[in-house]
A and B are shown apart, each in its own frame.
Chain A
Amino acid sequence: MKDKTRLSDLSRPSGEQLLHLDPEDLQPLPMSRDDGSSGHAWAPLSQQVRDRYECDLDDTCALSLPRPKTPEQERELVGQFLAGLEKLFTRENNWTFLQPLLLTVEHCARCQTCSDACHVYESSGRAEIYRPTYRSEVFRRLYYKHVKGGGLLSAWQHGAIDLTWPMVARLAELAYRCNLCRRCAQTCPIGADNGLVTHEIRKLFSQEMGIAPKELHESGSMLQLKSGSSTGMNARAVRDNVQFIDEEMSEKTGLAVETPWDVEGADILLIHNAGEVLAWPENPGAFAVLLNAAGVSWTLSSELAAYDAVNYGVWYDDAQLARVALMHAQVAKKLKVGKIVMGECGHAHKALFVIADRILTGDLNIPRESCLTLLRDIVVGGRVKLDPSRNDFPVTLHDPCNMVRLMGIVEPQREILRRICPQFREMHPHGVDNYCCGGGSGFAIMSGHNFQDWRAQVSGRKKIEQILNAFAECLDPSRPKYVCAPCSNCKGQIRDALNYHDLWEKHRILYGGLVELIVNAMEDVTPGFIEWEWR
């Protein structure tokens, strides 16, 4: 694809779509159809949607931002954007990320080293608007012009930019074409972080203009603050569901399984992504089986928000991040537990352990530990008897960016897999150099309009390529294969992408968590915990 899109094109008038991706533009997938596309047709946005919402960036729409009806409305929105832009660079409003933001905005040399590290840019066939520096450069020029008050000299030095409503609307959408995996930042020779710029643009739109994807805000963090979970489950519903899971696990494993609730003074408060309870009940079920068998003192909590680890604010809004993190910590404090252990959820790990660490002051700074180290200790410590031959099928490991590149939890999950999975093989690259699953930064739960097409075809494409390569010598469907993804959102994205590209049907590639593999290998458990059927 010879993409001639320029920075100034972001200001093109409303109604002009900036990018259209043809299947032949996309990076071909190995061992798949010659044209690199899947059997699925990419559903185009309807004219009704295009008329109603700002969808002038590319072939999809993440925000469903209504089109302003009058020039006055446009001017008002541009004014709000400018106000938010200025606030991003003030201590009072953005002390949370002011220093790294200034460092990146003022020093990126636009050397484009980061471009080759970006899976979205590469998978799209190098579409210019997906280049990590594209949105950052627009943002940088706006900063110099409108925050630093630059005139002609500044425009000459830093580049000119015209601020219009179509540009603002496209920039809002463009902030949701990046997985925030920060692979780009990892390669930057200067240490600039264009992923951070995306994060800050999202914050501007949310915190000043109230603009965020519905799945992340209204149906996400706001629902969690209201009912306790972004799934909408209240405490009663989640307890009922977990009770049902316990019964099913008891029947399936042959062990009596009972999940403890609200146990004061327990060693561990375990917090799952509540999506697991609904979508993959075998995951919280496997935790219950394993922790009980290992004799761990643990509990779940039925307090508001404490039975759902998710913290979507980490992707778009500092206030929402802080609110949910505080709730998690307050519950742990109230229960007087020894520590919080986070279940298999990458962004929840990063939100509570890393990003929110310094706002959990005083006795709210409850010790927090990853489930991966707990699971490693159980497996390596021999606290349950394991039979690796039960996992004698090809297994590869997906590294969730939040746990690995952004937290440095790399080896515990590998120590486990090397012990219990005789046919474990790595993807390439892996560890801190991994590629995002394509569902990072909230995409895994965003499916409005045809966004699912975009994330299966573009943002998730690199991961599919890695999975196919990892299983290259055993793609025959007679051999079932397992992609281990110890993160709920990664699992959701991998499920959607495998399904989209028919890889269960064609190659019998299944996905699942880590704890399921451990329970599948437990000698005391009835064989066949992992069921080879699509879910």
Chain B
Amino acid sequence: MTVVLYLVIAAAVLAFVVASLERAVRYARAPLHLRWELYPVPHEKPARVAYGGSYFETSEWWKVPRHFSLIGELRFMVPEILFLKALRENNRPLWFRSFPFHFGLYLLTGSCGLILLTAGLSVLQGRPISGVVGTGLRETYTLGGVSGLVLALVGAAALLHRRLTAPDLRSYTTPGDILNLLFFLVAFGLLGVGYLLRPEGSAGVLTIVTGILRWDPTPQVAPVFAAGLVVTSVLTAYIPLTHMSHFVAKYFTYHSVRWDDAPLRDNRRIAAAFAEYLTYRPTWSAPHMKAGGATTWAEVAATNPKVGGEKRS
């Protein structure tokens, strides 16, 4: 049974990574779009970021090197990712529920990373990590994991309660939305109960991860804890298949849309891409489009439908 558990966990992690990557690649490969930025844009000069200004405020801006500050973007992104700043500012009641949920997930993810690190190091050196480093790692991931689990559970319950009771959310809530939150509650609930109630001598998380790395099926996993791990694994694989994958989308919605203020001038990458797009042949059917699959976008744009559909020079 332990091998089956290993397989489920490994497959879930693989599915999560592959599905997330597939989604990211799909968006990354989508055509560059017409500009659609929204200010403030945080890579601008700090003085401008403060009020939302842009390079369009500079006379003859095209003669001035474009300012791009990665630090500025990080200054925006870090509080946004860690503390859901936009939600806090614009929807405080939801933030009180969503923040613990998301921060709990971060703590759980971080703890999983530390467990993997601890297991990896012990596999590499052929014995458990001991001493100050080992103790520090164990205490950190235990504290992070337990508090993360509690926060995520509380947050998921609070979000589910709000989804079911707030009228403006209720009418937009699908059965799938309810399932998603229930899924978290069941998975993390089982995981927590299984972890706390597991018999002495049965495998803990570090033992299981080390077992997977060594592919050692001897550890005995308590049934409830195993069930928690299986359900959590399935949940992990399920997340990137849903809108909950907004951790992938958010990179693109900010970097590729809201903050994409790169002008065409002297940008060969954009120029090459748009040269290709203008050769596409649209099939839009409205008469004024003068499309129909035979003409390119460049030709459509150069056509004046009010002058006998003639192309302009």
Contacts from A to B (Cβ < 8 Å):
6-7, 80, 83-84, 87, 91-93, 95-100, 102-104, 106-113, 115-117, 128, 131, 133, 137, 156-159, 182, 185-193, 196, 206-210, 217, 222-223, 225-226, 318-320, 322-323, 326-327, 330, 339, 353-361, 365, 367, 369-370, 373-374, 376-377, 404-412, 431-432
Choose from B39, B58, B89, B277 the contact partner of A407 (Cβ within 8 Å): B39
A358: chain B residues within 8 A (beta carbon): 32, 34-35, 264, 270, 274
A226 in contact with B307 (CB, 8 Å): yes
CB within 8 Å for A93 and B90 given contacts A99-B31, A225-B305: no
A98 in contact with B31 (CB, 8 Å): yes
Rounded to whole angstroms, the CA-CA distance of A73 and B252 in the bound complex is: 41
Rounded to whole angstroms, the CA-CA distance of A112 and B258 in the bound complex is: 19
CB within 8 Å for A411 and B288 given contacts A91-B31, A108-B243: no
- Nearest residue, chain B, Cβ from A99: B30
- Nearest residue, chain A, Cβ from B44: A408
A354 in contact with B168 (CB, 8 Å): no
Beyond contacts A91-B30, A207-B285, A404-B52: 6 other A-B pairs, Cβ-Cβ < 8 A, are A159-B172, A187-B86, A327-B312, A369-B56, A408-B39, A408-B52
Rounded to whole angstroms, the CA-CA distance of A168 and B291 in the bound complex is: 23
CB within 8 Å for A156 and B271 given contacts A98-B31, A190-B249, A358-B32: no
Interface assignment of B201: CB less than 8 Å from any CB of chain A:
no
B27: chain A residues within 8 A (beta carbon): 99, 102-103
Closest Cβ of chain B to A340, distance in Å, is 12
Interface assignment of B189: CB less than 8 Å from any CB of chain A:
no
> Please, could you name 25 A-B residue pairs with CB atoms under 8 Å apart, sorted by A?
A87-B284, A96-B277, A98-B31, A99-B257, A100-B253, A107-B246, A107-B249, A115-B168, A156-B175, A185-B258, A191-B252, A193-B36, A225-B305, A225-B306, A353-B56, A354-B35, A354-B37, A355-B34, A357-B34, A407-B39, A408-B53, A408-B54, A410-B39, A410-B52, A412-B57
B169: chain A residues within 8 A (beta carbon): 110-112
Rounded to whole angstroms, the CA-CA distance of A330 and B301 in the bound complex is: 12
CB within 8 Å for A432 and B31 given contacts A99-B257, A373-B56: no
Rounded to whole angstroms, the CA-CA distance of A404 and B40 in the bound complex is: 10
Q: Which of B58, B285, B300, B302 has the most CB of A within 10 A?
A: B285
A369: chain B residues within 8 A (beta carbon): 56, 59-61
A222 in contact with B86 (CB, 8 Å): no
Rounded to whole angstroms, the CA-CA distance of A98 and B245 in the bound complex is: 18
Q: What are the 4 tightest A-B residue pairs by CB atom distance, in nearest-first order?
A: A408-B54, A191-B253, A157-B176, A432-B52
Choose from A91, A112, A320 the contact partner of B168 (Cβ within 8 Å): A112
Closest Cβ of chain B to A75, distance in Å, is 16
B34 in contact with A410 (CB, 8 Å): no
B62 in contact with A361 (CB, 8 Å): no
Choose from B41, B60, B174, B274 the contact partner of A367 (Cβ within 8 Å): B60
Interface assignment of B84: CB less than 8 Å from any CB of chain A:
yes
B34 in contact with A409 (CB, 8 Å): no
Choose from B173, B254, B263 the contact partner of A191 (Cβ within 8 Å): B254
B264 in contact with A432 (CB, 8 Å): no
A206: chain B residues within 8 A (beta carbon): 286
B91: chain A residues within 8 A (beta carbon): 111-113, 116, 187, 189
A361 in contact with B257 (CB, 8 Å): no
Closest Cβ of chain A to B258, distance in Å, is 6
A355: chain B residues within 8 A (beta carbon): 34-36
A359: chain B residues within 8 A (beta carbon): 34, 274, 278, 301
- Nearest residue, chain A, Cβ from B265: A365
Closest Cβ of chain A to B254, distance in Å, is 5
B305: chain A residues within 8 A (beta carbon): 222, 225
Rounded to whole angstroms, the CA-CA distance of A7 and B51 in the bound complex is: 37
A356: chain B residues within 8 A (beta carbon): 34
- Nearest residue, chain A, Cβ from B40: A432
Interface assignment of B96: CB less than 8 Å from any CB of chain A:
no
A92 in contact with B282 (CB, 8 Å): yes
B86 in contact with A157 (CB, 8 Å): no
A373 in contact with B58 (CB, 8 Å): yes
Interface assignment of B131: CB less than 8 Å from any CB of chain A:
no
B301 in contact with A319 (CB, 8 Å): yes
Choose from A110, A182, A431 the contact partner of B173 (Cβ within 8 Å): A110
CB within 8 Å for A137 and B172 given contacts A98-B33, A358-B270, A408-B52: yes
B38 in contact with A156 (CB, 8 Å): no
B38 in contact with A222 (CB, 8 Å): no
Rounded to whole angstroms, the CA-CA distance of A264 and B293 in the bound complex is: 39
A374 in contact with B288 (CB, 8 Å): no
Rounded to whole angstroms, the CA-CA distance of A359 and B299 in the bound complex is: 12
B261: chain A residues within 8 A (beta carbon): 408
Rounded to whole angstroms, the CA-CA distance of A117 and B87 in the bound complex is: 13
A191 in contact with B249 (CB, 8 Å): yes
B271: chain A residues within 8 A (beta carbon): 361
A113: chain B residues within 8 A (beta carbon): 86-87, 90-91, 94
B257: chain A residues within 8 A (beta carbon): 99-100, 103, 191, 193
A189 in contact with B34 (CB, 8 Å): no
B118: chain A residues within 8 A (beta carbon): none
Q: Which of B178-212 contact A (CB under 8 A)?
A: 179
Q: Which of B52-89 contact A (CB under 8 A)?
A: 52-62, 84, 86-87, 89
Closest Cβ of chain B to A315, distance in Å, is 13
**How does the 8 Å CB contact mask read for B271-296 relative to A, with 1 for contact and 0 for none?**
10011011011111111111100000
Interface assignment of B48: CB less than 8 Å from any CB of chain A:
yes
B87 in contact with A189 (CB, 8 Å): yes
B254: chain A residues within 8 A (beta carbon): 191
Interface assignment of B2: CB less than 8 Å from any CB of chain A:
no
Closest Cβ of chain A to B284, distance in Å, is 4
Interface assignment of B250: CB less than 8 Å from any CB of chain A:
yes
Closest Cβ of chain A to B36, distance in Å, is 6
Interface assignment of B140: CB less than 8 Å from any CB of chain A:
no
Closest Cβ of chain B to A351, distance in Å, is 10
Interface assignment of B242: CB less than 8 Å from any CB of chain A:
yes
Rounded to whole angstroms, the CA-CA distance of A133 and B168 in the bound complex is: 10
Closest Cβ of chain A to B198, distance in Å, is 34
B174 in contact with A326 (CB, 8 Å): no
Interface assignment of B147: CB less than 8 Å from any CB of chain A:
no
B122: chain A residues within 8 A (beta carbon): none
Closest Cβ of chain B to A456, distance in Å, is 27
- Nearest residue, chain B, Cβ from A362: B271
A93 in contact with B283 (CB, 8 Å): yes
Rounded to whole angstroms, the CA-CA distance of A192 and B52 in the bound complex is: 19
A357 in contact with B263 (CB, 8 Å): yes
B236: chain A residues within 8 A (beta carbon): none
- Nearest residue, chain A, Cβ from B296: A92
Rounded to whole angstroms, the CA-CA distance of A172 and B283 in the bound complex is: 21
B274: chain A residues within 8 A (beta carbon): 358-359, 361
Rounded to whole angstroms, the CA-CA distance of A353 and B174 in the bound complex is: 41
Rounded to whole angstroms, the CA-CA distance of A431 and B52 in the bound complex is: 8
Closest Cβ of chain B to A346, distance in Å, is 12
Rounded to whole angstroms, the CA-CA distance of A458 and B87 in the bound complex is: 27
CB within 8 Å for A208 and B59 given contacts A189-B87, A355-B34: no
B283: chain A residues within 8 A (beta carbon): 87, 92-93
CB within 8 Å for A404 and B39 given contacts A99-B31, A108-B243: yes
A7: chain B residues within 8 A (beta carbon): 171-172
- Nearest residue, chain B, Cβ from A314: B34
CB within 8 Å for A190 and B32 given contacts A111-B94, A432-B39: no
Q: Which of A7, A159, A330, A374 has the most CB of B within 10 A?
A: A159
Rounded to whole angstroms, the CA-CA distance of A411 and B49 in the bound complex is: 12
B171 in contact with A6 (CB, 8 Å): yes
